[in-house]
């Protein structure tokens, strides 16, 4: 029997690239591709609908997928830096907007936490299984040298803490499982488009390149790495 993967956020740049790559991997039997709109099934790809802000839709998706058996990979590819037309990432504490901050926490921390609540139980118990979520280097407290971007940094730091918590808890029931937060680098998507100035060409990744890097990182992780934050090149980043 082949491996089964679920990608939540499959309509985004990295999520879509990851689904496409998994779909051509002969080791993969099924790819569940979750997005707000769903999609058309084809080959090993089985689309499903979910809304990151709707816990009921996440629970329903997990229930449906779970009926078909355990899952070997759950990849949360959702995230938000700021809303187009809304407040830009803060350069000062004077720019903090409570509503904008709450929205980033909802998307970057609460949403993935609800996904974990319903999808972690689907991970295979008798073999290696991975739950991974897109995070960011700027969510590292120890690595913070510049400040600013308060809402984004804080929401990603919260996600990193959740990943660490989930890893501790999951060891009790899934000893071979790995829970990890991933920094994809600067990826050429709508999320990063306004902030690409000064990024070296060699460090501005296409979604396809980023997805390939992240898959290599995931393939190299071991159970003792569970709970960590890892960069696209495999470097373990401090919290």
Torsion of CA 21, 177, 60, 47, to 10 degrees: 10
Report the share of the chain in percent with pLDDT over 90. Answer: 84
Answer for the pair 103, 81: CB distance below 8 angstroms, yes or no.
Answer: no
pTM, 2 dp: 0.94
What's the CA gap between 156 and 151, in Å, rounded? 9
What is the Cα–Cα distance from 182 to 184, expressed in whole angstroms?
A: 6
Distance CA 25, CA 233 (A): 21
Q: pLDDT, tens digit, for every residue of 57-79?
A: 999 999 999 999 999 999 999 99
**Sole residue written with tokens 């051509």:** 24
Secondary structure class of 11 (helix, strand, coil): coil
Over the stretch 127-183, which tens digit does the pLDDT of each residue have?
999 999 999 999 999 999 999 999 999 999 999 999 999 999 999 999 999 999 999
Of 117-126, 162-171, 204-213, 225-234, where does mean pLDDT reach its minimum?
Answer: 204-213
Dihedral angle of Cα 68, 69, 73, 74, to the nearest 10 degrees: 60
> Are the CB atoms for 162 and 109 separated by under 8 Å?
yes
Residue 211's Cβ-side half-sphere holds a number of Cα atoms within 13 Å equal to 22
CA distance 232 to 189: 16
User: CA angle, corner 214, sides to 213 and 216, nearest 5?
Assistant: 70
Residue 188 has pLDDT above 90, yes or no: no
Rounded distance, CA 89 to CA 161, Å?
Answer: 21
Are the C-beta atoms of 93 and 148 separated by less than 8 Å? no
Q: What is the mean pLDDT of residues 7-18?
A: 95
């Amino acid at each position: 029997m082949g491996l089964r993967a679920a990608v939540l956020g499959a309509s985004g740049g990295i999520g879509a690239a990851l689904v496409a790559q998994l779909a051509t991997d002969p080791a993969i039997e099924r790819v569940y591709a979750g997005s707000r709109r769903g999609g058309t099934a084809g080959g090993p790809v089985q689309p499903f609908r979910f809304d990151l802000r709707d816990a009921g839709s996440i629970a329903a998706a997990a229930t449906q997928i779970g009926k078909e058996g355990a899952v070997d990979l759950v990849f949360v590819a959702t995230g938000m830096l700021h809303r187009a037309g809304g407040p830009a990432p803060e350069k000062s504490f004077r720019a903090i907007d409570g509503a904008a901050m709450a929205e980033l926490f909802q998307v970057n921390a609460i949403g993935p936490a609800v996904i974990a609540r319903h999808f972690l139980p689907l991970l295979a118990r008798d073999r290696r299984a991975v739950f991974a979520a897109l995070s960011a280097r700027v969510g590292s407290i120890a690595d913070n040298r510049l400040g600013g971007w308060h809402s984004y940094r804080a929401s990603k730091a919260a996600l990193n803490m959740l990943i660490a918590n989930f890893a501790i808890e999951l060891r009790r029931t899934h000893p071979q499982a790995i829970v990890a937060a991933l920094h994809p680098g600067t990826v050429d998507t709508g999320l990063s488009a306004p902030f690409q100035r000064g990024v070296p060409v060699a460090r501005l990744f296409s979604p396809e390149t980023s997805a390939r890097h992240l898959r290599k990182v995931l393939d190299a992780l071991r159970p003792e790495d569970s709970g960590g934050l890892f960069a696209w090149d495999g470097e373990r980043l401090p919290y």
